[in-house]
Amino acid sequence: MILCMAACLATQAWADPSWKASLAVSEEYTDNAEEERGGHTDFVTSLIPSLGYRYEGGRALLESSYKGVWKHYARGTEDQEFDHDLNVHGLLDAWRSFLFLDVKDTYSLVNEDATRGERLEEDSGDDLVQRNRFTFSPFIAPRFGDRTETKLGYRYTNIWYDDDEYEKKSTHTGFVDVVHELTPTTSLLSGYSSTWEMSDEDGDLNRHIAYVGASYEYGEGSRVYAKVGPQYTRYSDNEESSTSLFWDAGWTHDFGSVLLDVTTGVTFEDDPETGQTYDRQYLTTRLTKEFQRTVVSAFVTLEDYEEQGDGYSKSRRKTEYSIDSGRRTYAGFSVRHELTSRLTGTVNAAYDLNDESSEDVKRWHAGIVFKYALAEDLDAELWYRYKDVSGDEDEEDNYTANRIGMLVRKTF
């Protein structure tokens, strides 16, 4: 499907495609290559190619990005690594701005444990796995008058991993979303979706979500929106069901030199380790302050994970069907300062706490990066990163790691 869409784009003459590529080489020293207690020192050489492409025409959009990381450990403390991060997205107006085809494919490293959240750059490869998520969605977009927009369609999602130990999963979703504009700044929102989730080994589930809401734009760069409604899930393996609240809300306010962004909601995250789906409730707050030559950003994210499955109950009552849960607190800051027209420095630090039913795991990350523009398309980086991991169950799992390195990148 992606190849067919690319062929359609190639026949259009509305716009020229844009390419962006780079190649980076880095050398680093680490005092704990294995990232474990009593780890060994090593020198790590990395080769990092990247390629980006974008084509946008009158009826079609195709955009893609790729980044590869090849690592060689001079002392052989770890095997060679070659990780990939690929994102492809295509959108085709198949018929008169009424019928659309939307295709996405993402191949990237993710945490084996979904309660760890999104993968961080500082995470090692030991607890990561390559995942491919493919999505195909045909939909229609009928308009009812000048103020009402509707999106009605079907979405197929397939998930697989490059390790056969992890379970494959596919979902089929029918959905409808309606936006009715009351005024140029105020809109009413409503929608419904029905999802059938099927896995190779675990039981299937059927999830229904209906919501109503509104959005309001009250200034340039300032907006508030909210969606709320019931969620009903039924599990095929034991005919149990659960009912809970679904919501998706956000507030963005531009104070001028300060930007506040708050989001909260419920999402559904696939867990590679168990093959189950987690119900993730989250709240994220981010503040960004811009000075003449400095940008300061601070954030905090609170996440609550509940594993959906045999008789899962959102009321959290202890029943024979209760399953594992976890909570995560992730907070940090970054400061970026332009030292000269060619030299910038960035300092960042973050605290990551996983509060699970079995143990608590704390992770501290800190780093400093200096970036210097050698030429218009050539830059160099000097960086240091610190990582500290500790748990309250087994001290043998506690460790620290220090890394210092240099990188040179050529952009084409």
The tally of CA atoms less than 13 A away on the side-chain side of residue 180 is 9
Q: Which parts of the chain register pLDDT below 50? A: 1-14, 310-323
Structure tokens at 399: 């460790």
Burial (CB count <10 Å: 0-12, 13-18, 19+), residue 254: middle
- pLDDT of the residue at 10: 42
Q: Contact, 35 vs 41, CB < 8 A?
A: no
Q: What 3-state class would DSSP assign to 253?
A: strand
Where do the structural domains in the chain lie, given as residue ranges?
A: 18-309+324-411
Q: Do residues 368 and 345 make contact, with C-beta atoms less than 8 angstroms apart? A: yes
State residue 123's pLDDT score: 72
**How far apart (Å, rounded) are the C-alpha atoms in residues 343 and 183?**
47
Task: Go through 68-96 and write b for each residue having 16 or more CB atoms within 10 A of its CB, e for each that does not.
Answer: ebebbbeeebbeeeeeebeebbbbbbeee
Q: pLDDT tens-digit profile of 148-172? A: 999 999 999 999 999 888 989 999 9
**If one looks up domain 18-309+324-411 in CATH, what number appears?**
2.40.170
Whole-Å CA distances, 181 to 60, 216, 217: 26, 10, 12
Q: What is the pLDDT of residues 194-235, one digit of tens each?
A: 999 998 766 689 999 999 999 999 999 999 999 999 999 998
pLDDT, one tens digit per residue, over 348-367 is 999 999 987 567 899 999 99
The pLDDT value given to residue 125: 64
Bridge partner list, 1: none
Q: Which residue type is seen at 147?
A: R
The pLDDT value given to residue 60: 96
* CA-based R_g, the chain, Å: 24
User: What would the 3-class secondary structure string for 1-17 be?
Assistant: CHHHHHHHHHCCCCCCC
**Cα maximum dimension of the chain:** 68
Model pTM score: 0.89
pLDDT of residue 5: 44
Q: Compute how many other C-beta atoms are within 10 angstroms of the C-beta atom of residue 30.
A: 23
pLDDT (0 to 100) of residue 307: 80
User: DSSP readout, 156-211?
Assistant: EEEEEESSTTSPPEEEEEEEEEEEEESSSSEEEEEEEEEEEEEESSSPPEEEEEEE
**Angle CA(293)–CA(299)–CA(305) in degrees, nearest 5?**
155
Tokens at 242, concatenated: 């659960």
Of 100, 85, 275, 244, residue with least CA distance to 170: 275
* Cα-based distances in Å from 399 to 36, 285, 306, 340, 402: 5, 30, 28, 37, 10
